[in-house]
Structure 1
């Protein structure tokens, strides 16, 4: 990535029809070095991005600031990338605070290896009371295949495949939690990033996909 770069993902429904887009703009890139064990420096490169969700008419539906970073041989995407905007529709005009847990993407992963979970937590509140927590968790992530060719509008890329479970939850209180579970398959090229993501319901039916259109 480089400052000023623009990336775009097309959002496709189960029939392959475009229903919108997600666009990213790289705002800045910075590098920090911190001394670690045996005086060996650990270098972290951070990328700040502006993210926008758009409908088919190019209307902005949501915007978010994100931070991706790279440390050693692993890249981490911001957990806030996983926000469940559908689950937030009923809480319009409320105060929201955001917390993300990054998702790891090894540059040279071993097929069959497990990856840590991550996602987004949104606390919805009014000035006087907490209303609900809307959470997206990507868990039980497993790298199931070595590099395979994946073709999207932006081109053909050599990708690793990661299968995960995806859980959406809305908690109005501790004893009232509405959950919706499904599956997710990600294809990523360490030199480029996430190339394609497919979302399925718990029965294995394809619901939506996001494909890289330009980078």
Structure 2
């Protein structure tokens, strides 16, 4: 579960922080009761687990919106991890409270581990256009496991740009999307790696599809929206 949690945090930092609805955005609706199911696939197209989200406790005050994202992550072996985190839209910017991921429920499922997460949010403008360049972002994850092992991970999201518009069909339906390219640089222990990726974003839905690649551009894995309701 530690590996899946790290992948989750990287995914949030690299692609899914955005702006919200209700005066904040046309993307990522913060609507009480909204549900989203994503299925992960490996490089050969084999199912590799699922992540389910549910939006709860939505509160609005003018252009500001806050909500709780309830999350259930299931790996390919059927192991389940559940938690929730806080998300807030203030004016035109959404902020994910990464520290809220480190609640007692999450820590109890991961064993003897202490974590500290900091960094800058990934921003996504309301009005996207082909060729548009987007701001970089970064995140630092510090983990102390078993009281002795320390592991620091630094994640940078760079070279973000809107490549094109494209229609995408998934089990959840057909969506008109903007395709956003970025590169995620990770530094963990003595290893440094860069992973190009693309996300497909649809208005009122958010992320419909995500693909990650190796340095040579070969597909490493993907995440696809398979069900949603709001």
TM-score w.r.t. structure 1 length?
A: 0.76
Aligned residue for 1:94? Answer: 113
Q: Taking CA–CA contacts closer than 8 Å with sequence separation of 6 or more, which of the two structures ends up with the larger relative contact order? A: 2
Aligned residue for 1:174? Answer: none
Deviation at 1:168, TM superposition (A): 1.7
Aligned residue for 1:134? Answer: 153
Aligned residue for 1:14? Answer: 43
Aligned residue for 2:180? Answer: 162
Instruction: Quote the Cα distance in structure 1 between the aligned partners of 2:71 and 2:181.
Output: 24
Change (3 A) 1:66 1:59: farther
Unpaired stretches in structure 1, ≥5 consecutive residues = 34-42, 84-90, 172-176
**Larger proportion of helix:** 2
Instruction: Quote the Cα distance in structure 2 between the aligned partners of 1:120 and 1:11.
Output: 23
Deviation at 1:201, TM superposition (A): 0.7
Are the counterparts in 2 of residues 79 and 100 from structure 1 also a CA contact under 8 Å? no
Aligned residue for 1:39? Answer: none
1:123 equivalenced with 2:148 (yes/no)? no
Deviation at 1:31, TM superposition (A): 2.5
Deviation at 1:2, TM superposition (A): 2.0
Describe how 1:159-198 pairs up with structure 2 within 5 A.
159-171=177-189, 177-198=190-211
Are the counterparts in 1 of residues 64 and 91 from structure 2 also a CA contact under 8 Å? yes
Aligned residue for 1:47? Answer: 67
Pair member with larger Rg: 1
Unpaired stretches in structure 2, ≥5 consecutive residues = 1-29, 102-109
Alpha-carbon RMSD:
2.8
Deviation at 1:109, TM superposition (A): 1.1
Change (3 A) 1:115 1:133: same
Aligned residue for 1:5? Answer: 34
TM-score w.r.t. structure 2 length?
A: 0.71
Deviation at 1:100, TM superposition (A): 5.0
Q: Secondary structure of the equivalent of 2:179?
A: strand
Q: Deviations over 1:122-141 (max 9, x none)?
A: 21136988823223322111
**Larger proportion of strand:** 1
Deviation at 1:167, TM superposition (A): 1.4
